[in-house]
Structures are given as C-alpha cells and as structure tokens.
Amino acid sequence: MNANILTTAISKLEHAGFIVCAVVRDMRGSNQGFWNRLGVSYETSFIKHPLNPCKRIHFFADASHLIKLLRNHILDQGVKYPKIR
C-alpha cells in the first residue's frame, strides 16, 4: 500500500457513490510504517480527504487483530503480575 493506491481507492469508491471516512488496518509493521509516512499517529489519527480537504479520513487499528495479538502474547508469555509486598 502507498499513498497513490489509497488515493485511487478512495476516489473510485467516492465516484461509485460511497462515502469514505475511515481506513481500518491491522497493526503489522508495514502498515505502521505506512501510517507514519502519512503522518498518522496516536495524536493525529486522520489525514485530509484527497477529494475534499475540508473532510478527514480517520485511521483505526483492527480491533479483532489486536485481540488476536493479545491472545497470542498471553499464550506465548503468560500473564505476569507485579509482586505485592
């Protein structure tokens, strides 16, 4: 994925009558890099809409993928609790 492909996809969807207001991706390393190149972060989770700069395209992490990653981490590493004195 790159910015040109994203812009083309948004443009085609909008011209087909859809309203594009968000992008959902898993948090794989390559996707994080893509978000960084677009300037998307936890502080700024959107970009200007390529067809209408008055609108925004928001970016969201795929919640089901985050749950899967948490499950895998717990299965691999277990749950560690702080020692209570």
Domain boundaries, the chain: 3-77
Per the structure block, which two tokens stand in for 21?
């207001």
Beta strands in 1-85 (DSSP E): 22-25, 46-48, 56-61
pLDDT at 82: 85
pTM: 0.71
3-state secondary structure of 31: helix
Instruction: Tell me how far apart the alpha carbons of residues 73 and 51 are, in angstroms, rounded to a whole number.
Output: 40
pLDDT at 37 over 80: yes
Q: How far is CA 35 from each of CA 1, 2, 5, 59, rounded to the nearest angstrom?
A: 10, 10, 14, 8
When pLDDT is averaged across residues 9-36 and rounded to a whole number, the result is: 89
Look-up: residue for tokens 């795929």? 62
Q: Does 43 or 27 have the greater pLDDT score?
A: 43
Nearest to 45 by CA among 27, 36, 7: 36
pLDDT digits (tens, 9 = 90+) for 44-83: 999 999 999 999 999 998 888 889 888 999 999 998 888 8
| First vs last C-alpha separation in the chain | 50
